[in-house]
Amino acid sequence: MQVKILWADDEIELLKPHLLFLEQKGYHVDPVTNGRDALDKIKDSTYDIIFLDENMPGLSGIETLSRIKELYPLIPVVMITKSEEEHIMEEAIGSKIADYLIKPVNPNQILLSVKRLLDQGKLVKEKTSLNYQQEFRQLGLMFNNRLNSKEWIELYKKLIFWELELDKSKEQAMSEILEMQKKEANHVFADFIQDNYLEWMSGNATPLMIHQVIKEKISPKIGKEKLTVLVIDNLRFDQWKVIEPLLAEYYSKQTEEIVYSILPTATHYARNAFFSGLLPAEMEKRFPTLWKNEEDEGGKNLHEKEFLEANLKRLGKDCRWTYTKITNFESGKKFAESFHQIKDQDVNFIVYNFVDMLSHARSEMEVIRELAENEAAYRSITVSWLEHSPLYDIIKKAADAKHHLIITTDHGTIKVNNPVKIIGDRNLNSNLRYKTARGMNYNSKEVYSIKQPKDAHLPTIKLSAEFVFCREQDFFVYPNNFNHFVNLYNNTFQHGGISMEELLIPYIELQPK
């Protein structure tokens, strides 16, 4: 279908070479000499783009633009003017123009504007697809080599980059190819973790892990600048990348890193490790009255503040600090309203649970199940939630208070779609991605088993108890009621096991503008 252009300019006769040039390029152009004729034309015909002179007699370009946007807000309008006065530019931009050109314009400028506005989606889609195809083989070669922990981080960043680029370009075929490539990468990554995790736990060639972050990254900053440390439970690196633009108005990015979580990639273990600076077995030993094992009654994350206090004391940090856990909208709203009360503290630690609640609700609420049908939708929900959540207000208030902002998490989450059978006693823990008990029955080829929990600095709950972890996109299901649980949890977002999405987590440092 031929593209139709409306061009309104009181000196349209002087622009005939431009009109002829566009027609030679295959575009249909209707010329008019004033704003009223332009409005009449728009009522009688459909246009793909409008070029509008700012300085026309009678109805001015700005006035014409305002009326066009009232009636046809989706038609892109390009304002053309002789004036470079800032207030005219601001008025035009405020009226939502699509482009702004200064006279004299040449034909190639006009053509570029048309292509950018009308063909950009198609051109970006084609270019993105071509670029990914060129890198596809290189990415495959990378994860088929024996990568180290840093190289896995770089590979994961590349995969996320292309995932987001292909999302934006709506290139479905390439997105499906990338999804298969990520699946293959996760298979190799799970092998990598199985081969190296116990070695890391013995202290050899350990990458930076969640329990070391306060000591290595945050502690040196305490006292030098006001800090707000935001721990968004379950926040994946791709989710960080899509919410990053929302923060750009208030913060500039200083550091963007990925660190490793610990196994199990579950709040009970990973978040307590973050705050305490200790691995689970060490927490159990040092804080026997605070640490809760799987079979113990009561909440497993009720003592983060005490763990943090001991960690800061151990690090020699004599500072003013606060700890706040936000678990629902109302508590978030109240905290945002009272943020001024803590703005003078040296460091404020905030745990925000909503992303975790969202991912678990995914398996329990049909509405969320439909909204988060795929990874792109899951990311989109995260953006929409943040925009309308008290957390966004908290971030803005931290920026107003000139706090440096650190955003991190304790673990990520992965969409599961492959059920793996396991048999255990009635006390088997409920997490779908890891189990711990003795006498469990499973296919050893399908899981990562740690027979001696102490080797991974995990608590030994009972003699002969072990930990088993799902890999990639698997989830544990009991043989009895198998189909019921498969239907309930298939294609839901879970955590606790081994995948890039769960173990490779964001650590971000932001400076207030």
Q: Across residues 388-416, what is the average pLDDT?
A: 95
End-to-end CA distance of the chain: 47
pLDDT band with cut points at 50, 70 and 90 for residue 307: very high
Q: Across residues 48-72, what is the average pLDDT?
A: 86
Kindly give, in sequence order, each residue whose CB lies less than 8 Å from that of residue 116, ignoring residues fewer than 6 positions away.
99
- Residue ranges per structural domain of the chain: 4-105, 122-201, 210-414+502-512, 415-495
Is 82 in contact with 103 (CB distance < 8 Å)? yes
Tell me how crowded residue 126 is: count the other CB atoms within 10 A of its CB: 13
Tell me how crowded residue 338 is: count the other CB atoms within 10 A of its CB: 11
Is 201 in contact with 159 (CB distance < 8 Å)? no
Top CATH class, 210-414+502-512: alpha beta
Is 311 in contact with 279 (CB distance < 8 Å)? no
- Name the CATH code of domain 4-105 (choices 3.30.70.380, 3.40.50.2300, 3.40.50.1000, 3.30.70.141): 3.40.50.2300
176-198 confidence digits (pLDDT tens):
888 889 999 999 999 999 999 99
247-278 confidence digits (pLDDT tens):
999 999 999 999 999 999 999 999 999 999 99
The SS3 of residue 227 is: strand
What's the pLDDT at 178?
A: 83
Token pair for 140: 């495959």
Tell me how crowded residue 392 is: count the other CB atoms within 10 A of its CB: 18
Q: Which residue has the higher pLDDT, 86 or 460?
A: 460
- Give alpha helix (H) positions in 254-364: 267-276, 280-286, 304-314, 329-337, 354-361
* Percent of the chain at pLDDT exceeding 90: 54
Separation in Å, CA 189 to CA 125, 216, 266 = 30, 25, 18
